[in-house]
Amino acid sequence: MDKETRMEWLVKRVAQEFKMGDVVNLGIGIPTKVANALPEGIKIILQSENGYLGVGPAPEVGKEDSDTVNAGGQYATILPGGCSFDSATSFAIIRGGHVDATVLGALQVDEEGNLASWMIPGKIVPGMGGAMDLVVGARRVIIAMEHCAKNDGLKVLKKCTLPLTAAKQVNLIVTDMGVMEVTPNGLMLKEIAPGLTFEEVQACTEAILIEPDKVAV
């Protein structure tokens, strides 16, 4: 599989993690694409942390509403049944455990479920926005990212080296190479992207991966 096909596999694979009616917050970038890849018959309620539930598709050209933007600042729509609220209510929804899952990108993630996604000291310090609250508050934290950094640097590590977004909150890591679950024993490679082997995924991963059939039950 080429890179593009593997990225499509990643997005579709994340989209299988939800059940009907789940309240989900999608981060910017790869996570945003998950909304368009849901399995037939599954509907989820998307939350936008700037203050509404029921995020719909981007508006048609000419129908943009400057009061309806997503958390990335792009024009958006609110579906029938959706509702808007202030930032305190929005983060009560997030921190209070009312969001079933959040899907976010990452700079680094490690075998303890630690996540680094918000700053590279001396280089990129844009701010954490709502990410720290989302990772702490959402019932499930799913990381959706390319398995390796652009310079082929490893991102799935034994221990994050960048400043953390949150400690021990990640549940699942879905990359273009496979699906890894954070377990008390480390990262279990639950699924491997089509065409790859366990060894190929391990070679791109600093953390020691556990093969499901090698786990003592």
Say whether 112 is catalytic. no
Query: SS3 sequence, the chain?
Result: CCHHHHHHHHHHHHHCCCCCCCEEEECCCHHHHHHHHCCCCCCCEEEECCCEEEEECCCCCCCCCCCCECCCCCECEEEEEEEECCHHHHHHHHHCCCCCEEEECCCEEECCCCEECCCECCCECCCCCCHHHHHHHCCEEEEEECCECCCCCECEECCCCCCCCECCCCCEEEECCEEEEEECCEEEEEEECCCCCHHHHHHCCCCCEECHHHCCC
Interacting stretch for another protein, rule CB under 8 A, among 20-28, 59-67, 181-189, 197-205?
Answer: 59-67
Interacting stretch for another protein, rule CB under 8 A, among 8-16, 26-34, 78-86, 192-200?
Answer: 78-86
* Catalytic-labelled residue, pool 17, 49, 111, 181: 49
Of residues 135 and 177, the one with the C-beta less far from another protein: 135
Q: Is 194 exposed, middle or buried (0-12, 13-18, 19+ CB in 10 A)?
A: exposed
By the rule CB under 8 A, 27 interacts with another protein: no
Binders of another protein: how many residues, by CB under 8 A? Answer: 43
Interacting stretch for another protein, rule CB under 8 A, among 2-10, 47-55, 98-106, 188-196?
Answer: 47-55
Among 129, 140, 188, 191, interactor with another protein by CB under 8 A: 129
* Smallest distance from another protein to CB 185, Å: 21
By the rule CB under 8 A, 57 interacts with another protein: no
By the rule CB under 8 A, 60 interacts with another protein: no
By the rule CB under 8 A, 91 interacts with another protein: yes
Strands of the sheet containing 115-116, edge to edge, are 115-116, 108-110, 156-157
* Smallest distance from another protein to CB 31, Å: 17
Of residues 44 and 131, the one with the C-beta less far from another protein: 131
Among 95, 98, 140, 158, interactor with another protein by CB under 8 A: 95
- Residues interacting with another protein, by CB under 8 A? 48-52, 65-73, 76, 78, 84-88, 90-91, 94-95, 114, 125-133, 136-137, 163-168
The catalytic residues are 49
